[in-house]
Every structure is written in structure tokens, then in C-alpha cells.
Amino acid sequence: MKFLLRLLPFLCALGLGAAEPASTRTPVSNFKLPTFTNEGHRSMLLQGTEALVGPDRVELTGMNLSIFTGDRRNLVETIILSPVAVADLETDVISGKDTVRFIRDDLEITGSDWRYDHRQKKVSIARQSRVVFQAQMPDLLK
């Protein structure tokens, strides 16, 4: 992901990245990768109980993705949970075939076969989608 690619030199310094052949992946327990806006505010925090870190992708087990407002308020806007996911560091896309739980203050979406595009701030859930709105919608059925 473009914003994660800025952190690759840091990962390489730890022996986790592009200095190794492309087929090499490094296992990491309790993986955490924070990202920041150009202004230095938190953009998101990608976490996994286990991860396989490669030069252009991270395969996660027990993924927890926290997406922040990206400003000085530093508020969590969205949380995305999935047992298995892959983060593509070049396209800014995190995806998984397994189940997902997308949580915001105003709604919760569950399903499977999902994709989150950070550049577009777009979540797609292809199968078994279920949406629960936490807000009143008095004129919905008119």
C-alpha cells in the first residue's frame, strides 16, 4: 500500500522486507503496523495475531484494522475484523475470502469474500452480507 510502502525501509531494517528475495516471507507474532497521514496524524493501524511479511504483501491471521479520522482528533472511524486477510502494499487493498465484520458507530456489516480499498475508502462484501443500522430511519419505508 502506498502509505505502507513508506514504512518498508523500516521493515527492511528489521530484516522483514525487500532486502530479501521476493519469495521470502518473514513470520511475525503480534504484528502491528501503524500508518500516518502526511501531517503526522494516524491514518490506520493494521494488526494481526500472526503475519507473514513479504516485500509487497502481508498475510494476516486474526486481523484487526482500525481506521482513524486522520486528523488531530485521532478518533477511530471504523474497525474491520477478519480471521484471515491479505494486505497488498502496492495497491492499498486489504482483502479476504473468510468472514469479515465491519463496525462503525452508525452501522455494522458482516459477510465474507471482502475487500477494503484504502485509497477509495471503499469496502466491498461479495457474499452473505448482512447490514445492521444503528440509526433511526423513520422515512425508509415511505
Query: Does the predicted TM-score (pTM) go above 0.95?
Result: no
For residue 39, being part of any structural domain is answered with yes
Query: At a CB cut-off of 8 Å and minimum separation 6, what does 83 contact?
Result: 61, 62, 63, 96, 98, 99
User: Which CATH number is 62's domain given?
Assistant: 2.60.450.10
For residue 141, being part of any structural domain is answered with no
| Per-residue pLDDT tens over the stretch 29-70 | 999 999 999 999 999 999 999 999 999 899 999 999 999 999
CA dihedral sign, ordered 70, 79, 113, 133 = negative
Q: What is the rounded average pLDDT for all residues in the chain?
A: 85
For residue 138, being part of any structural domain is answered with no
Domain count, the chain: 1
Question: Residue 119: what residue type?
Answer: R
State the pLDDT at residue 24.
Answer: 82
- Structural domain harbouring 109: 2-133
| Per-residue pLDDT tens over the stretch 72-86 | 999 999 999 999 999
For residue 139, being part of any structural domain is answered with no
